[in-house]
């Protein structure tokens, strides 16, 4: 059960869009439509931003969207704002009540 693969860092200017990828296998990302994304500010607990690949919990901005193709999922943040600067983690269900997370991506707003 290896961690999902994410880029270490991404960056963008205010107003732009950025995409963070999350690569797995057919045993996790590719095998289930249960990919989720979490936002974490320094010193804070993670917050659920996307679930079931592309669904947003109540209260999460529509600027956040998710998608999946094969064994790779993606998180897109459109209309970047300074407050979006944070670490982002993908997660995937792997069956039999087990999960795996990605290594995390540091998103910087230039």
Partner 1 sequence: EVQLVQSGAEVKKPGESLKISCKGSGYSFSSFLIGWVRQMPGKGLEWMGIIYPADSDTRYSPSFQGQVTVSADTSISTAYLQWSSLRASDTAMYYCARRSPLTDAFDIWGQGTVVTVSS
Task: Catalog residues that contact partner 1 under the rule CB under 8 A.
Answer: 1, 3, 32, 34, 36, 38, 40, 45-48, 51-52, 55, 57, 89, 91, 93, 96-104
Smallest distance, Å, CB 104 to partner 1?
4
- Identify which of residues 8 and 82 has a Cβ nearer to partner 1 in the complex: 8
Rounded to an integer, what distance in angstroms lies between the CA atom of residue 107 and that of residue 97? 30
Question: How many helices and strands (H and E) does the chain possess?
Answer: 0, 9
- Identify which of residues 17 and 26 has a Cβ nearer to partner 1 in the complex: 26
Smallest distance, Å, CB 13 to partner 1?
26
Burial call 79-104: b when 16+ CB within 10 Å, e when fewer: ebeeebbbbbbbbbbbeeeeebbbeb
End-to-end CA distance of the chain: 35
- Identify which of residues 13 and 58 has a Cβ nearer to partner 1 in the complex: 58
- Identify which of residues 57 and 70 has a Cβ nearer to partner 1 in the complex: 57
């Amino acid at each position: 059960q290896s961690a999902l693969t994410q880029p270490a860092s991404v960056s963008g200017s205010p107003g732009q869009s950025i995409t963070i990828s999350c690569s797995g296998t057919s045993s996790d990302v590719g095998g289930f439509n249960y990919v989720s994304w979490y936002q974490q500010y320094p010193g804070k607990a993670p917050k659920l931003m996307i679930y079931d690949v592309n669904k947003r919990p109540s209260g999460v901005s529509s600027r956040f969207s998710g998608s999946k193709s094969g064994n790779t999922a993606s998180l897109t943040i459109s209309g970047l704002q300074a407050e979006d600067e944070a670490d982002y983690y993908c997660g995937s269900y792997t069956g039999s009540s087990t999960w795996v997370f990605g290594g995390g991506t540091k998103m910087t707003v230039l």
